[in-house]
Chains A and B, each alone.
Chain A
Amino acid sequence: MAKARAIVKRLKAVRNIKKITRTMELVATAKFKKAMERALEATAYTRKLAEIVADVSASLGESGEEGAVSHPLLAVRPQVKKRLLLVITSNRGLCGGYNAGVLRVAGQLLRSRDLTVTLDMEVSGKRGINFYKFQRQPLVRTYTQFEDKPTFAQIEEIANRIMDLYIAGEIDQFDVAFMQFQGIARQKPVVETLLPIGNLESESAVSGTEATTDYEFLPSPEEILGEIVPASFKARLFKCFLDAAVSEQVFRMVAMKGATESANDMIKSLKQRYNRARQSQITSELSEIIGGAAALE
């Protein structure tokens, strides 16, 4: 009896775990949809921003001042002495290879960099923080306030501080390691360089279809472009966080789906084993009774 009972206990445990993973899957699905909506809504802003950039630079180009935009955030420093890396991980686990993926690309950068360059690290998310604590990697700053709904105000604060650091010359390059969301079935851990801003118009939305409208600029195209640069940096950083939030939910969804399926398989095989154990127990009990009765005769 002992063996069958042990299996029953195990079976119960697996069923309970299955309930949890199934629920987590559903929660992740709901959160994913919301995060996805937010990410989509945010694209309206970046698209419009790119449009304005295109219009402004078109008019600058016309007036013969090609590349007249100079902004401290656009300037590429000839020698990079100090870099800042922001690693975006999640606060909670149970999301498959999400954190491992991001930490892997960050680790690659950490190992492959030129050792004469100092690299400061900032990490968002408890998972990453604990990982680097274990690795004894000093972290300049850590954030744990970002859950599945990062707000622009939160990001703006970070962006402003980083821009100040960059303009003051305390850092020469700023990278972000995060899970890029390329589609529901495709996410990729990447390290993206946000500062210096390489190309303002790199965003896909810029197309030269419309003939340029003759705009009136208030105050002047140069000044507007100068003001757009920080806005565009903020929008990009915000997009990194939104991407990370969406990817996290996708990974959790997939991981929990796998876990639920595995639990189902396990329940099946445990049930089989239990039935066998029960059967053999009954058989042995029967044969004992028959044996006992035969001995009495």
Chain B
Amino acid sequence: MALGDSLRLTVVTPEKPVIDQVVRSVQFPLADGMTGVLPGRAPLIGRLGYDELVFIDDSGESRYFVDGGFVQIAQNVVTILTSSCRPVSSLTRDEASKVLDAALARKATSDNEVSQRQKDQNRARRMLALADQ
């Protein structure tokens, strides 16, 4: 397992571990853009953004939506901690646009609230884009 040619991906949410399997490659969103990981990646700890998690294993490509969080890579194990992770196919346009509308309609008065709202809007827009695919 610890050899350089395989990569293990585990995705954990506060409720339960979602994914735990051997993969060939993983792509996930860091806070400032997408990044890809192949076996043998140097250790990394990073903050995640809101976007698509794609991994390729023997059966092909799987796509999930991750909701922020953290990633840790050590010894060819990619651990993703996120508050929610669901297959992209389960995202619906209705739901995503509802989230976006809620984020757009919210009133924000302080700096903190404004940046939070901006974050929520970006997240909702990504959800919408993924739902439309």
Contacts and interface: CB of A to CB of B under 8 A. Distances in A.
Contacts of A55: 45, 72
A270 B46 CA distance: 69
Given A44-B12, A231-B69, A217 B74 contact: no
A48 B81 contact: yes
A224 B46 CA distance: 7
Interface stretch (B14-22, B88-96, B124-132): B14-22
A52 B12 contact: no
A48 B46 contact: no
B58 to A, nearest CB: 25
A213 B81 contact: no
Interface stretch (A93-101, A122-130, A150-158, A188-196): A150-158
A268 B83 CA distance: 54
A42 B70 contact: no
Nearest to A210: B74
B47 to A, nearest CB: 5
Given A216-B44, A217-B45, A234-B83, A48 B15 contact: no
B32 interface: yes
A235 B70 contact: no
Most chain A CB within 10 A, of B15, B75, B81, is at B15
Interface string A147-165: 0000111001000000010
Interface string A37-56: 01001101110110110011
Interface residues of B, number: 26
Nearest to A41: B16
Given A52-B45, A214-B43, A234-B14, A228 B70 contact: yes
A227 interface: yes
Interface residues of A, number: 35
B112 interface: yes
A213 B2 CA distance: 15
Interface string B66-99: 0001101011000101011000000000000000
B105 interface: no
A215 B13 contact: no
Contacts of A213: 43, 74-75
A42 B83 CA distance: 11
A56 B47 contact: no
Given A52-B45, A216-B44, A218-B47, A224 B70 contact: yes
A152 B83 CA distance: 8
Given A167-B112, A219-B32, A42 B16 contact: yes
B30 interface: yes
A87 B74 CA distance: 40
Contacts of A32: none
A227 to B, nearest CB: 5
A56 B30 CA distance: 17
A224 B47 contact: yes
A217 B30 CA distance: 11
Most chain B CB within 10 A, of A153, A167, A214, A234, is at A153
Contacts of B16: 38, 41-42, 44
A223 interface: yes
Contacts of B3: none
Contacts of A215: 43-45, 74
B70 A52 contact: yes
20 contacts: A42-B14, A42-B15, A45-B14, A49-B70, A51-B72, A55-B72, A151-B15, A152-B83, A152-B84, A156-B83, A213-B74, A215-B43, A215-B44, A215-B45, A216-B42, A219-B32, A231-B69, A234-B14, A234-B83, A238-B14
